[in-house]
Amino acid sequence: MAKKKIKRIGVLTSGGDCPGLNAVIRAVTKKAIHEYGYEVIGFKDGFEGLLFNRHRKLNEVDVSGILTLGGTILGTTNRANPYKYPVEKKGNFVYKDLSAQVIENLRKLKIDCLVCIGGDGTLDTTHRLSTQGVAVVGVPKTVDNDVKGTDVTFGFDTAVHIATEAIDRLHTTAESHHRIMILEVMGRTAGWIALYAGVAGGGDGIIIPEIPYDISEIAQHIKDRRKNGKHFTILVVAEGARPLGGNVTVQRMVKDGSEPKRLGGVSFIIGQELEKLTGIESRNVVLGHLQRGGSPSPFDRILGTQLGSKAVDFIAQGEFGCMVGVKDNHMVKVPLSRVAQGSRLVALDHPLIKDARALGTCLGN
C-alpha cells in the first residue's frame, strides 16, 4: 500500500496546561516546515477548536520565542471530550457524542494527520479517533507523570522543581516554630510528584496514593523524631492520598468536567488528626496550580523539543495511531491502545520507595 502523501498537519493541546507545551508546538511547527514542507494548522483550546472550527495557521514567526514560555499559545480545556461533550439542556448537562463532527471538520480542512498533545484523557480520546480512521500521533504531557508507555512526561520535572523549592522553604519555618508542616502536591491518583519532590527535599514523611496511610503510624513517627531531638516534621502529601480502608478527599464535584472529582484538601485532614494525636501544632500548604505555571525547566524544554520532533518523523514515516514515548532515554513508538489502558502508578517496589524507607522516611504504613 502506498504511503499517505502528507501536505497539512494539525496540532492541538488538550487537558490541563503544563510547562513545556510551547516547546512541543515549536518543535512540531519548525520541523514540519523546515524538513518536510508541511503546512501546520493549530487548533485553539484543544478538541473544542476541532469541534467549532477555531484554528490558525502556524508559521515560524508564530512559534519564535515561545520555548521558554509556560502554558500554551494555542489554549486548552479539559471540558471538550468530543465523545462526551457537555451540553446544557433545561438547566442540566447532558453528554453527547460529537466525534463525527470532529472527523468531518478534519476532512473539510484536509488535515492529513493530527498531533494531539495531552495526558491520559486526551490520549484516550486520540486513540478513539484513531480507531475511527483518523491519522493521529500523540505526545505525552502531564505534570503528574502518569501516562502509560513512557518513562517520563514533560512538565513533571518542572513540577518537581517547584515542589522541592517549596519543601526547602518550609524547612526553615518548621524548624523555627517546631511545627508539623504539610505540603500537598498534585498527582491525582499517582504519587510521582510527592515521591520525587519528597526525596529531593528531604521530607520526613511522604504520603502517596499507592500506599494507603495509617495516621497512627505517621503520628508515632513524629513522636519518635521528637524523642530523638527533632522538634519539627515535614510531610509531603499527594492530593490523591487516602487512609487505610478509606477514600480520597474530594474538594468539589464539577458537573460538566471530563473528571468530575476535583481532589484536594487531604493535607487539612491529616494535619488536624496529627495535632490531636501528637499535640504538636501543624500547618499545611497546598501548592495547587503553582506546579503547572511559569517557565519550563531546561529538561522539560529539551524533552518537549525531542518529543515534538519525533512526532513529525512518525508522520513522515506513516506511523499513525501511536504516541511518542521515552524508554531508557530513547524516543520510542507506543501504540495508543496501550496508552489508553489507564494511569501509570508508582510501583510498590520502585527503587526510590526502597531508598526512602532505607533513610528512615515514613511512607504512612
Residue pLDDT, tens place only, 154-171: 999 999 999 999 999 999
pLDDT of residue 270 exceeding 50, the answer is: yes
Q: What pLDDT score was predicted for residue 256? A: 55
User: Looking at residues 314-337, what average pLDDT do you find?
Assistant: 97
E-strand ranges in the chain read 8-13, 39-43, 55-58, 85-89, 92-96, 113-118, 136-140, 180-185, 205-207, 233-238, 250-253, 261-263, 282-286, 322-327, 330-335
For strand 92-96 and strand 85-89, is the pairing parallel, antiparallel, or unpaired? antiparallel
Q: What pLDDT score was predicted for residue 263? A: 83
CA distance 111 to 135: 9
Considering the chain, tell me which residue range(s) the CATH 3.40.50.450 domain(s) occupy: 8-154+296-339
Tell me yes or no: is domain 158-293 CATH 3.40.50.460.
yes
CA distance 67 to 53: 26
Q: What pLDDT score was predicted for residue 64? A: 96
pLDDT of residue 354 exceeding 50, the answer is: yes
Considering the chain, tell me which residue range(s) the CATH 3.40.50.460 domain(s) occupy: 158-293
- Is residue 258 very low, low, confident or very high in pLDDT (cuts 50, 70, 90)? low
- For 273, residues 6+ apart whose C-beta sits below 8 A from its C-beta are 215, 219
CA distance 218 to 26: 46
Stretch among 72-76, 257-261, 310-314, 352-356 having the lowest mean pLDDT: 257-261
Distances (CA, A) of 157 to 141, 170, 299, 352: 11, 20, 7, 16
Are 266 and 248 a contacting pair, CB within 8 Å?
yes
- Is residue 333 very low, low, confident or very high in pLDDT (cuts 50, 70, 90)? very high
Residues 32-51 have pLDDT tens digits of 999 999 999 999 999 999 99
CA distance 209 to 147: 16
- Report the top-level CATH class of 8-154+296-339: alpha beta
Residues 220-235 have pLDDT tens digits of 999 999 999 999 999 9
The residues carrying an active-site annotation are 144
User: Looking at residues 248-263, what average pLDDT do you find?
Assistant: 71
